[in-house]
């Protein structure tokens, strides 16, 4: 049996050297007892093999994993890493198997360490202390969940390199006066009050929005264990308790538009929309205008939070001048009603504004627009997006997706995902309702359920972003 006691400072490099020597000597994981800063003085322990330059290759991912997981508070972390190191000598691809319990546990530990480091960088609060040097000196106390003082110190040295500081934790303390040095952990020191904390509390209170209080989300980002060391935390209980009353007061004090002015604004918006429709009717950017009955503009309120973009008008839309009034539009209406969305509150439009078809007797058979026609009409779609400024766009089919994103390839693999236009507007990908009409009867119920699920996701996303998508 081998006993390896690692130092509190330089723990990773020490573990790496000892692990290399033990593995070169063929020592198995169950034959090693690992500790950190706790020499056991076991008289019966075997002598450790000397460290050298024995060749040992591991996947790069293992080193990245070890550099994080080794700071975890789990007392078995060193043994877990060495056991995985042993297995990787014969199966290097195991590191990619996230389902393997050994890999999964170490990955979870690494993530917990990463979160703890993030909390430390966010919640350390320095207070100025007396200095006997030319620079001001500050000190802070922090209680991390894991042994993260050493890997976190470089961040503070870079971020606060213009001052001298000390950070005390129960496990290890760090000091900086141009270079970082470490010593033993300490109890919480008697740090002085800081006059700037009153200013910080005033600022914190001023940016607190009572209308957007989500206690569970706040405590997820700022766990209560840190509150006792945060000056602003003393304000939180009172601000939460009064949030509803303050939000109601804000709503009552909000200005309203005078009826006469509201009417003038509405009239200007309508006249502007009329001018856009007139210009669209005169569009000659591609040849589709020559055979279509008319251009079909978008329809819906100009402040709609949700915009639905289809491919092009169909036969019925071409005759009426309105989008989504034909068979595909009826499928869409049923789906919208099923998920609780009101069509009149949405903005509906198409990527291409003229109907493309080939005649077959008296019938007009739909033809998909080519890329040139889509790009020629993109100017109009971009104008609609700019005027409406929706919080979310639903791309119905590959043509709409190509016009919004740049490519419509791989639609079925992308459906249900949210992408972004070059301007940063989120776009939810789904199929065109006409796709459902072309399916065999046996396959249609499942496809319609998936389509409704996509629209439900759109409704939920709008709700999360603070949009008002009225529901039935």
Q: What tens-digit pLDDT sequence spans the chain (472 residues)?
A: 889 999 999 999 999 999 988 988 888 888 999 999 876 555 455 677 666 565 678 888 899 999 999 999 999 999 999 999 989 988 888 998 888 999 999 999 999 999 999 999 999 999 999 888 788 899 999 999 999 999 999 999 999 999 999 999 999 999 999 999 999 999 999 888 877 788 888 888 888 887 777 877 777 778 888 888 888 888 888 888 888 888 888 777 766 655 666 566 556 555 556 667 778 888 898 999 999 999 999 999 999 999 999 999 999 999 999 999 999 999 999 999 999 999 999 999 999 999 999 999 889 999 999 999 999 999 999 999 999 999 999 999 999 999 999 999 999 999 999 999 999 999 999 999 999 999 999 999 999 999 999 999 999 999 887 655 555 5
Q: Let me know whether 165 and 300 are in one domain.
A: no
434 and 294, same structural domain? yes
CA-to-CA separations, 29 to 67, 90, 128, 131, 464, in angstroms, rounded: 19, 15, 47, 49, 49
Q: State the pLDDT at residue 417.
A: 95
Tell me the C-alpha to C-alpha distance, in Å, between residue 31 and each of 27, 28, 181, 284, 310: 7, 5, 34, 81, 66
In a domain, 189, yes or no: no
One domain for residues 109 and 171:
no
- 472 to 329, 338, 342, 448: CA distances (angstroms): 18, 9, 6, 20
Residues 95 and 224 placed together within one structural domain of the fold? no
**pLDDT attached to residue 246:** 81
Give a yes or no: residue 265 inside a domain: no
Is residue 237 domain-shared with residue 213, that is, in the same domain?
yes
Do 311 and 436 lie in one domain? The reply is yes
Domain annotation covers residue 160: yes
Total of domains in the chain: 4
The residue range of the domain holding 164 is 124-184
Q: How far apart are CA 298 and CA 296, in angstroms?
A: 7
- The verdict on residue 308 lying in a domain is yes
Max CA separation in the chain (angstroms): 100
Kindly report, residue by residue over 122-155, the tens digit of the pLDDT: 999 999 998 887 888 999 999 999 999 999 999 9
Per-residue burial over 434-466, b = 16 or more CB atoms within 10 Å of its CB, e = otherwise: bbbeeeeeeeeeeebeebeebbebbbebbeeee
Q: Are residues 130 and 17 in the same domain?
A: no
Residue with tokens 């005390």, as numbered in its chain: 168
Considering the domain boundaries, does residue 230 fall inside one? Answer: yes
Q: CA-CA distance, 21 to 105, in Å (whole number)? A: 25
Taking the C-alpha atoms of residue 330 and residue 350, their distance in angstroms, rounded to an integer, is 16
- Could you give the CA distance from residue 5 to residue 134 in angstroms, rounded to a whole number? 40
pLDDT of 265: 54
pLDDT at 2 (0 to 100): 87
Q: Looking at the structure, do residues 112 and 140 belong to the same domain, yes or no?
A: no
Label each residue of the chain as H, E or C. CEEEEECCCCHHHHHHHHHHHHHHCCCCHHHEEEEECCCCCCCCCECCCCCCCCCCCCCHHHHHHHHHHCCCCCCCHHHHHHHHHHHHCCCHHHHHCCCCHHHHHHHHHHHHHHHHHHHHHHHCCCEEECCCCCCCEEEEECCCCCCCHHHHHHHHHHHCCCCEEEEECCCEEEEECCCEEEEECCCCCCCCCCCHHHHHHHHHHHHCCHHHCCHHHHHHHCCHHHHHHCHHHHHHHHHHHCHHHHHHHHHHHCCCCCHHHHHHHHHHHHHHHHHHHHHHHCCCCCHHHHCCCCCCCCECCCCCCEEEEECCCCHHHHHHCCCCCCHHHHHHHHHHHHHCCCHHHCEEEECCCCCCEEEECCEEEECCCCHHHHHHHHHHHHHHHHHHCCCEEEEECHHHHHHHHCCCCCHHHHCCCEEECCCCCEEEEECCHHHHHCCCCCCHHHHHHHHHHHHHHHHHHHHHCCCCCCCC
- Same domain assignment for residues 447 and 305: yes
Rounded to whole angstroms, how far apart are CA atoms 298 and 250? 35
Q: Are strands 164-168 and 347-350 parallel, antiparallel or unpaired?
A: unpaired
Residues 79 and 135 in one domain: no
Instruction: Classify residue 327: in a domain, yes or no.
Output: yes
- What is the CATH classification number for the domain harbouring 337? 3.40.470.10
Residue 335 lies in a domain: yes
Let me know if residue 138 belongs to a domain: yes
The pLDDT, as a whole number, for residue 32 is: 92
pLDDT at 132: 81
Would you state the pLDDT for residue 46? 62
- Quick one: 292 and 438 in the same domain? yes
């Amino acid at each position: 049996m081998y006993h390896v006691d690692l130092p509190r400072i330089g723990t990773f490099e020490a573990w790496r050297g000892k692990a290399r020597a033990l593995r070169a000597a063929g020592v198995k994981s169950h034959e090693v007892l690992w500790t950190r800063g706790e020499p056991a003085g076991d008289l019966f322990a075997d002598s450790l093999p000397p460290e050298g330059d024995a060749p040992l290759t591991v996947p790069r991912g293992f080193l990245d994993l070890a550099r994080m997981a080794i700071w975890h508070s789990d007392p078995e972390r060193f043994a877990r890493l060495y056991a995985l190191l042993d297995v990787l000598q014969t199966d290097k691809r195991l590191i990619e198997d996230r389902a393997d319990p050994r890999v999964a546990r170490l990955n979870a530990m690494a993530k917990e360490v990463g979160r703890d480091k993030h909390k430390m960088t966010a919640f350390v609060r320095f207070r100025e202390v007396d200095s006997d040097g030319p620079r001001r000196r500050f000190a802070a106390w922090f209680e991390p969940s894991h042994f993260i003082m050493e890997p976190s110190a470089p961040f503070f040295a870079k971020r606060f390199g213009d001052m001298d500081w000390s950070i005390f934790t129960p496990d290890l303390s760090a000091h900086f006066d141009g270079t970082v040095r470490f010593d033993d952990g300490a109890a919480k020191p008697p740090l002085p009050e800081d006059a700037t904390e009153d200013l910080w509390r005033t600022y914190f209170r001023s940016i607190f929005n009572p209308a957007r209080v989500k206690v569970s989300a706040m405590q997820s980002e700022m766990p209560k264990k840190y509150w006792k060391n945060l000056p602003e935390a003393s304000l939180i209980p009172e601000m939460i308790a009064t949030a509803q009353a303050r939000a109601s007061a804000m709503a009552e004090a909000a200005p309203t538009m005078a009826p006469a002015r509201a009417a003038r604004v509405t009239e200007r918006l309508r006249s502007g929309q009329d001018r856009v429709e007139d210009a669209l009717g005169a569009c000659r950017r591609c040849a589709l205008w020559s055979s279509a009955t008319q251009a079909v503009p978008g329809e819906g309120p100009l402040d709609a939070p949700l915009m639905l973009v289809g491919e092009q008008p169909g036969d019925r839309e071409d005759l009426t001048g309105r989008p989504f009034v034909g068979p595909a539009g009826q499928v869409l209406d049923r789906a919208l009603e099923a998920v609780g969305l009101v069509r009149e509150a949405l903005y509906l439009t198409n990527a291409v504004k003229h109907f493309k078809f080939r005649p077959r007797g008296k019938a007009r058979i739909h033809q998909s627009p080519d890329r040139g026609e889509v790009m020629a009409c993109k100017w109009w779609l971009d104008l609609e997006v700019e005027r409406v400024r929706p919080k979310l766009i639903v791309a119905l089919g590959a043509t709409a997706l190509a016009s919004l994103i740049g490519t419509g390839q791989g639609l079925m693999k992308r459906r249900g995902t949210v992408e972004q236009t070059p301007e940063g507007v989120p776009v939810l990908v789904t199929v065109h309702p006409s796709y459902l009409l072309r399916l065999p009867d046996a396959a249609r119920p499942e496809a319609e359920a998936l389509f409704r699920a996509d629209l439900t996701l759109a409704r939920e996303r709008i709700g999360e972003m603070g949009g008002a998508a009225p529901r039935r």
